[in-house]
Amino acid sequence: MSKCPDLIHELSDYIDGDAAPEICAEIERHLDDCPDCKVMVDTLEKTITLYREQETQVVLPDDVRERLHIVLNLNDQT
C-alpha cells in the first residue's frame, strides 16, 4: 500500500472524472493491486450516490412555499 497516500489526493478528481488520463491509469493500476483501496473507492462512490439519490426526494413543501410568498408579498403573482 505504499502508493495509497499519493492516491488519496487525486481521489475526488478521479471520482468526478476530472483527473488527467495518466493519473486515472495510475489509480486504476493501483486499485487492481490494492483490495483495500478498491473498497475504499467503491464505498466512497456509493456514499456520494446515496446522497444524490436522497436529495432528489426532497421537494419544497406547499406550506413552506405559501409562507414564503406571504413574507415576500407575492400572493398576487401566483
Partner 1 sequence: MHPKNSSHAYSIEDLQAGDRDAFAALVEEYSPKLHRLALRMMNDILEAEDVLQETFLKAYKNIDRFEGRSAIGTWLYRIATNEALMRLRKTHPDTVAIDEPIEAPDGHLITREIKDWCCLPEAEFMTSEAQSKLDRAVAELSPALRSTFVLRDLQGLSTRESAEILGVSEPAIKTRLLRARLQLRDSLSSYFEDRVLEMTDE
In the complex with partner 1, the residue whose CB is nearer, 21 or 73, is: 73
Footprint on this chain of partner 1 (rule: CB under 8 A) = 1, 4-9, 11-13, 15, 36-37, 39-40, 42-44, 46-48, 50-52, 54-55, 58-60, 64-65, 67-69, 71-72, 74, 76-78
CA atoms within 13 A on the CB side of 42: 8
| Phi, psi values for residue 19, rounded to 5° | -75, 150
CB 27 within 8 A of CB 3: no
In the complex with partner 1, the residue whose CB is nearer, 8 or 25, is: 8
